[in-house]
Amino acid sequence: MDNKLLQSKKARTISRNKLLGVAGVGWLFDAMDVGILSFIIAALAVDWGLSSNEMGWIGSVNSIGMAVGAFLFGLLADKIGRKTIFIVTLLVFSIASGISAFTTTLAAFLILRFIIGMGLGGELPVASTLVSESVPAKERGRVVVLLESFWAFGWLLAAIIAYFVIPSDIWPIAGWRVALIITAIPALYAVFIRLHLPDSPQFAAKPEAKKRTIFQNISGVWSKKYAKSTLMLWVLWFSVVFSYYGMFLWLPSVMVGKGFSLISSFKYVLIMTLAQLPGYFTAAWFVEKIGRKFVLVTYLLGTAASAYVFGQAESITVLLISGILLSFFNLGAWGALYAYTPEQYPLVIRGTGAGMAAAIGRIGGIFGPLLVGWLRTAGFDFGFIFAVFCISIVIGVAAVVFLGQETKQMELE
């Protein structure tokens, strides 16, 4: 009997690790695309002579697409299934990203960034919902945070590609175009997922979930039982995404604005990106040992303090240290956010609830990069701009403290 239990435990571990690996690589590709965009914006500013407002619009159009995609694909995940939508979103953003490498006008590039954003925005909440429903409650938070840790590897890969590919003159076409062609690789990976990724066992066991209308699912998110959680998530997501995209899409450009060369800026951002990994791993440990609320509050306050110092910094030492801490705390908080969000809802509206919260967040992602462009054009320095993002994060912390409930090791409905 003990041997059978041991074999069963081993099989569950292999299945969990396989799920984490397969879904995680998809998450990595998503991060790679978003990460490369931050470097491409800086390169396009030089190549196409873009203004600060035009640079801001690239990031914002991407976030508009992510808002639409998170909402649309979240709804479809509750009607069709998590696995199918996960594959569709990968295909959407990777194929469109590869095509964008051949654009010659800003207008065409913006249209494709909207389509790319739809795929990116849909993939993240659907993947976290799938993983949340596929692992036991006692390790669910840790596994979802580890899933989110693949984001750091994606950004790291993006930073490496940006450093070695974008500034290089060995290519017959501009380096940023080569970088975008590389981002089409996930289209091939989608075929692999189709063969190796199981769908959510909870969703498969509840076929009646597919019979609910989309209107029922949307209204269910704001029903009396879940309204408080929904309000908390919407405020939290908006504040986190608003500040994240406002800060991180502009990191290379901030470095250039403070007097560093494009290549040096890419190198420093690469160093900062490495700090995301310990941020995720420590959050993965704390999220099960102490709880989701503790990680969100602590790591977001760390993000706010680091952002303020980064915006005020003038020396390379202070920039690097505050940038490293910014990456550490912010991405650790993201891991807890993705673990926390699906736990607020029952199975039948989980994809819808997570998708709608992410969509509200992406609206913040629209305004974040635009705000930086507007404020820079108006003559405000980065110290003031990063202080604004600091305040935004504190508002998100307040929402968790006063409206959030602890969900550590709670069985999903």
Q: 84 is written with which tokens?
A: 């199918």
What is the largest distance, in Å, between two alpha-carbon atoms of the chain? Answer: 72
For the chain, the distance separating the N- and C-terminal CA atoms, rounded to the nearest angstrom, is: 31
**Contact criterion met (CB below 8 Å) for 197 and 86:** yes
Q: At 408, give phi and psi (nearest 5°).
A: -55, 125
The Cα–Cα gap between 184 and 215 comes to 35
Q: Which pLDDT does position 20 carry in this prediction?
A: 86
Q: Running DSSP on this structure, what letter comes out for residue 222? A: T
Cβ-based neighbours of 253, under 8 Å, separated by 6 or more: 41, 42, 45, 55, 265
Fill in the amino acid letter for 133. Answer: E
Q: pLDDT at position 397, please?
A: 98
Closest CA to 351 of 71, 53, 18: 71
Select from 23, 120, 19 the least CA-distant residue to 73.
Answer: 120
pLDDT at 231 over 90: yes
How much of the chain exceeds pLDDT 90, in percent?
Answer: 42
Q: Where are the beta strands (DSSP E) in 128-238?
A: none
Beta-carbon contacts of residue 373 (< 8 Å; ≥ 6 apart): 51, 52, 53, 54, 55, 56, 57
What is the structure's pLDDT at 1?
47
* 332-337 average pLDDT score: 94
Residue 10 has a pLDDT of 47
> DSSP class of residue 343?
G
Q: Kindly report whether the global pTM for this prediction surpasses the value 0.85.
A: no
Of 251 and 262, the structure prediction assigns the larger pLDDT to 251
Backbone phi, then psi, for 121, in 5-degree steps?
-65, -35
pLDDT surpasses 60 at 12: no
Give per-residue pLDDT as tens, 159-206: 888 888 887 778 778 888 999 998 888 877 877 776 677 777 877 777
Other beta carbons within 10 angstroms of residue 137's beta carbon come to 14
Distance separating alpha carbons of residues 166 and 163, to the nearest angstrom: 6
Res. 8 pLDDT band, cuts 50 70 90: very low
DSSP secondary-structure letter at 104? -
Length of the chain: 413
The CA distance from 198 to 241, in Å, is: 30
Which of the pair, 95 or 201, is modelled with greater confidence?
95
Distance (Å, whole) CA 99 – CA 61: 17
Our measurement of the distance from residue 243's CA atom to the centroid of its chain's CA atoms, rounded to an integer in Å, reads 12
CB atoms within 10 A of CB 195: 7
d(CA 324, CA 310): 10
* Annotated domain spans of the chain: 11-194+212-403
What span, in angstroms and rounded, lies between the C-alpha atoms of 292 and 273? 23
Whether 13 shows a pLDDT value over 70: the answer reads no
When the pLDDT of each residue in the chain is averaged and rounded to a whole number, the result is: 86
* CATH annotation of 11-194+212-403: 1.20.1250.20
Q: Which 3 state secondary structure label does DSSP give 259?
A: coil
Q: What is the mean pLDDT of the segment spanning 19-38?
A: 85
**What pLDDT, on a 0 to 100 scale, did the predictor assign at position 2?**
53
Lowest mean pLDDT among 255-259, 377-381, 390-394, 409-413: 255-259
Token digits of residue 129: 């919902």
Weakest mean pLDDT among 4-13, 72-81, 128-137: 4-13
- According to DSSP, residue 290 is labeled T
Where do the H-state alpha helices sit in 249-344?
251-257, 262-274, 276-289, 292-312, 316-340
The predicted model gives 241-264 an average pLDDT of 76
